[in-house]
């Protein structure tokens, strides 16, 4: 046996919205519903006159607790030249406490100063330079020339070798060049990009699914999270029960509501499986009335109620 919940009466919803709207912006109400030359009164604004269409919908709500904290794991490594180490932005968390994720501005993984390590350059084996044969003297250290010498009285031409030390390698036959890999700095530098040590924070999160296509889902969810006692719904301990009793409890059903129940159920299952989440409430089913309205001036707006005839909240894009 399930108990049917009493849906709020259209006039009650309209009245509650009207009072709320007049409290927040009476001038706008007067502009949209007033009559020129007549004294403006809220009493003459009735649902019968301004509500053009109504849909019976439903919303499903539950709340979860989620641990927010060190989400990213593992480390990334970078290997760069000495001048490029200085161009990286390093962070240090040494000795400090855990970081509040809400306050943190920046990436979730950052280069950590304490992890910087020198690694001998592989290309030059840590020498900073490479030794190559001198190209000018082909590694001999000498420049060889052949002079043509005029010999004796006859001045007979004779070729004679002559050599002198190579000026490019100072006669050593070798030339050193800075290593292109490390730029002559001998070392490369390695550092870790590690997750920021976030504090684990447990927060409550409202989860709302509604069959009315409203942009207020987030707002309604948050309101329910804070004022769940102010709205009356039907509570279920699992979706199997909700599915079997939804229609009887609401007194109506439609395709969108069935779809919404399905979507809420898969969401619920996802949270059940997630080890960082914990479902903290029962599952609530709320009647939701969607009203399509038009003001005296012809402006269209929508009005929603959430909850039973005893306790409900209203939302509007008026």
304 vs 289: CA distance, rounded Å: 5
60 vs 58: CA distance, rounded Å: 7
193 vs 101: CA distance, rounded Å: 17
- Name the maximum alpha-carbon separation found in the chain: 141
223 vs 203: CA distance, rounded Å: 16
Site for Zn ion in 182-211 (CB under 5 A): 182
What are the φ and ψ backbone dihedral angles of 25, each rounded to 5 degrees? -155, 85
Q: Is the separation of the CB atoms in 209 and 264 below 8 Å?
A: yes
- Tokens coding 129: 């330079």
Using DSSP, state whether 92 is helix, strand or coil: coil
Smallest distance from Zn ion to CB 123, Å: 4
- Site of tokens 């030339």: 175
Smallest distance from Zn ion to CB 120, Å: 8
What are the DSSP calls for 107-129, one per residue? -SEEEBGGG-EEEE-TTTTTSSE
Pick the closer one to Zn ion by CB: 25 or 177. 177
> Which residue in the set 179, 224, 234, 293 belongs to the binding site for Zn ion (CB under 5 A)?
179
DSSP state of 43: G
Site for Zn ion in 256-295 (CB under 5 A): none
Pick the closer one to Zn ion by CB: 168 or 253. 168
Our finding on whether 63 is near Zn ion (CB under 5 A) is no
Pick the closer one to Zn ion by CB: 88 or 181. 181
Site for Zn ion in 116-175 (CB under 5 A): 121, 123-124, 134, 136-137, 166, 168-169
Of the listed pieces 22-30, 80-88, 115-123, 259-267, which binds Zn ion according to CB under 5 A? 115-123
Pick the closer one to Zn ion by CB: 58 or 182. 182
> Which residue in the set 181, 217, 267, 276 belongs to the binding site for Zn ion (CB under 5 A)?
181
Pick the closer one to Zn ion by CB: 181 or 276. 181
Positions in the binding site for Zn ion (CB under 5 A): 121, 123-124, 134, 136-137, 166, 168-169, 179, 181-182
């Amino acid at each position: 046996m399930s108990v049917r919940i009493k849906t709020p009466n259209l006039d009650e919803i309209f009245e509650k919205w009207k009072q709320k709207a007049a409290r927040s912006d009476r001038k706008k109400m007067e502009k949209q519903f007033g009559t020129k030359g007549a004294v403006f009164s809220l009493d003459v604004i009735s649902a019968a006159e301004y509500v053009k269409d109504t849909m019976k919908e439903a919303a499903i709500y539950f709340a979860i607790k989620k641990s927010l904290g060190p989400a990213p794991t593992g480390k990334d490594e970078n290997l760069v030249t000495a001048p490029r180490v200085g161009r990286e932005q390093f962070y240090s968390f040494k000795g400090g406490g855990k970081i509040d994720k809400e306050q943190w501005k920046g990436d979730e993984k950052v280069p950590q100063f304490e992890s910087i390590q020198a690694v001998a350059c592989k290309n030059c084996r840590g020498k900073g330079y490479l030794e190559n044969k001198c190209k000018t003297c082909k590694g001999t250290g000498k420049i060889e020339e052949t002079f043509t010498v005029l010999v004796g009285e006859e001045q007979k031409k004779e070729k004679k070798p002559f050599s002198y030390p190579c000026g490019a390698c100072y006669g050593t036959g070798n030339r050193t060049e800075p290593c292109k890999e490390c730029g002559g700095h001998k070392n490369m530098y390695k550092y870790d990009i590690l997750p920021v040590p976030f504090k684990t924070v447990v927060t409550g999160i409202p989860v709302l699914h509604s069959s009315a296509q409203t942009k207020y889902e987030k707002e309604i969810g948050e309101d329910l999270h804070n004022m769940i006692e102010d709205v009356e719904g039907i509570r279920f301990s699992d979706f199997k029960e909700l599915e079997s009793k939804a229609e009887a409890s609401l007194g109506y059903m439609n395709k969108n509501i069935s779809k919404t129940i399905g979507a809420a159920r898969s969401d619920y299952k996802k949270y059940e499986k997630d080890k960082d989440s914990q479902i903290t409430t029962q599952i609530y089913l709320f009647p939701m009335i969607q009203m399509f309205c038009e003001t005296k001036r012809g402006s269209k707006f929508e009005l929603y109620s959430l909850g039973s005839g005893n306790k409900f909240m209203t939302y509007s894009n008026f």
